[in-house]
Structure 1
């Protein structure tokens, strides 16, 4: 067992031993006054992230109690030597695509994704006001009608019940802006859900389309998230993450990183007087481009 997986394994084992799921845990935490998003819990369980912020560490104490553990049973597994880089992601992307195919989701076989641009707006209260995703697709078959876009758990349409989640459990609401509609969101595996995007009309072979969707956090935990990533399920001409901060509220430190072909790297960057954090990769994927910051 590698160190980066120790907390995730302990958390997953504790949930299994208690016989409960993440939705149950999130509801009980909310009853105790701890607003932890389903996405955060899922990231912790899958090993993509660990609790770091003070509010997360406070919630972890309650989680240990709710799962019938002694104090420190989970927190003792947190990494103590600082951040060592992102957890492996390529296998997770491949697994998500395979599970999606097995469940009959429209996917990459009908279209080629050319570009994925993620724009995150942060307001003067350090809250995420909206996340805008623009994608470019080219039809690989005649009559391509849509595509699957992977998103974090807890993302929903705000009106559809799916996989045991209701509007109450939705952390982030997703809405179509142009080029498509959102058919719904389904759970895939820990750490990843899938939004089904339907194009405005079926595409002819070789025809291009640009889709634009907006995601708006509706809970405190999701609105205060300080790490975002763009998932490339296949090779892209461009993958971009652009975080736009309010000029009166700039972060003290920023990092960007990527995971591709079994490799992962993260490095600090300076805003250098700018108000935006930009990370752009070309000829990239499958993999993940990330940007994160601290206040």
Structure 2
């Protein structure tokens, strides 16, 4: 039996309304809309959170795992995850429906094949069903002029039901192997989300951020995280529009640059176009604030004495 049919039978046998099921899920800290429940039992979509399905089994009083094992069956058009990944939700990883968008994302990176390998190991099924309302970055440098950390805060809004995660990719310092173990950039400072799979390769890190609740269409969520050892240059890639973008570069008080500029470029190999000189204030920081950023790359560059 397919998942939708099994869920529909279980709901009918329980005698519970969809609103009552929604309420009981909410009591357990799981936010699922009535519309999502309706879509699931009619086969229009599938849950993307195994925690939700396991809780549904309890609420509907069906044998444990009876719905989960049906959820694991690949759906038509699903693309299996590569690399035999451990952890996560299991089953097939569905990629965004638009192959053109995936190709466009790759064009923003200097090594598209490496980018494709990293994100190919991650679940990007939620990426095309959320919009970024705001992105705020704080990029910090030390007294040796080297980057110390990149702190990120984003506000997202779901444009579809059943969204529980997004994938983020950043360039990082590529540390050559030495006599000891190789050091990978740390993902820390997470708030309002938790990490899923993390993959790093040759100066690139990609990771899943799992929300603290499952989003229905129109729901908003805040995510915060911090990366150690970001790339030596600061720039942001925007494969999709962002309404509000703020970048702050914080220099060390003992090592301030002579000049600082904002810049933009269209793709990974395109030349930079300067947006103007940025003021370095008494706090030793410079910032770039933009509204309605479209697809492309935006960043901040500086010149030392």
Determine if contact 2:118/2:205 at 8 Å carries over to the other structure.
Answer: no
Kindly tell me: are residues 135 and 205 of structure 1, through their superposed partners in 2, closer, same or farther at Cα, counting changes over 3 Å? same
Kindly tell me: are residues 256 and 168 of structure 1, through their superposed partners in 2, closer, same or farther at Cα, counting changes over 3 Å? farther
Secondary structure of residue in 1 paired with 2:108: helix
Match of 2:236 among 209, 230, 233: 230
CA distance in 1, matches of 2:249, 2:277: 13
Match of 2:220 in 1: 208
Instruction: Identify unmatched segments of 5+ residues in structure 2.
Output: 1-104
Kindly tell me: are residues 144 and 155 of structure 1, through their superposed partners in 2, closer, same or farther at Cα, counting changes over 3 Å? farther
Match of 1:33 in 2: none
Determine if contact 1:154/1:169 at 8 Å carries over to the other structure.
Answer: no
Count of residues paired in the alignment = 191
Q: TM-score, normalised by structure 2?
A: 0.53
Match of 1:79 in 2: none
Match of 1:152 in 2: 171
Match of 2:262 in 1: 256
* Higher RCO (Cα < 8 Å, 6 or more apart): 1
CA distance in 1, matches of 2:170, 2:163: 21
Match of 1:91 in 2: 107
Q: Does 1:265 align with 2:273?
A: yes
CA distance in 1, matches of 2:119, 2:151: 26
Determine if contact 2:136/2:246 at 8 Å carries over to the other structure.
Answer: yes
1:76-128 per-position Cα deviation (integer Å, ceiling 9, x unaligned)? xxxxxxxxxxxxx9823696887777656224223112221110122344343
CA distance in 2, matches of 1:232, 1:289: 8
How much is the aligned-residue C-alpha RMSD, in angstroms?
Answer: 3.5
Determine if contact 1:116/1:230 at 8 Å carries over to the other structure.
Answer: no
Instruction: Identify unmatched segments of 5+ residues in structure 1.
Output: 1-88, 157-166
Match of 1:279 in 2: 288
Deviation of the 1:230 alpha carbon: 1.7
CA distance in 2, matches of 1:201, 1:142: 12
| 1:23-172 alignment runs, 5 A limit | 91-92=107-108, 105-106=123-124, 107-153=126-172, 168-172=181-185
Please state which structure has a larger fraction of its residues in strand: 1
Which structure has the bigger radius of gyration? 2
Q: Does 1:245 align with 2:251?
A: yes
Determine if contact 2:187/2:225 at 8 Å carries over to the other structure.
Answer: yes
Kindly tell me: are residues 131 and 98 of structure 1, through their superposed partners in 2, closer, same or farther at Cα, counting changes over 3 Å? closer
Q: Does 1:175 align with 2:184?
A: no
